[in-house]
Amino acid sequence: MFTCTQESPPRSLELPDAFEDLTGVIASDLKVIVNALTQRAGERRLLSRRQRQQLQRTLWDNLTRALMETLEPLDVERQ
């Protein structure tokens, strides 16, 4: 029997208010970075489609989380 696991959607990029106007630009740049890294890893490591998707999701989630966590204190300091 084959079971399908429901994956959570990718993390959305939510920057603090002081950086909110940059969200679209940064999200676009992150997509390019994630796609380039995933493509290269797929070529070099001969990853399956599922492995590429998992890598892409992991890269996206980790990069967006790192940005949000790094910028959050800057927004708090501004208040």
Report whether 5 contacts 35 (CB < 8 A). Answer: no
Whether residue 69 lies inside any domain: the answer is: yes
Whether residue 28 lies inside any domain: the answer is: yes
Whether residue 6 lies inside any domain: the answer is: no
| 23-61 pLDDT tens trace | 999 999 999 999 999 999 998 888 899 999 999 999 999
Whether residue 37 lies inside any domain: the answer is: yes
Average per-residue pLDDT for the chain: 85
Whether residue 13 lies inside any domain: the answer is: no
Report whether 62 contacts 54 (CB < 8 A). Answer: no
Whether residue 33 lies inside any domain: the answer is: yes
In the block, tokens 């980790």 appear at: 62
- Domain enclosing residue 44, as ranges: 22-78
Whether residue 72 lies inside any domain: the answer is: yes
Say how many domains are in the chain: 1
Whether residue 42 lies inside any domain: the answer is: yes
Residue 22 CA to its chain's centroid (Å)? 15
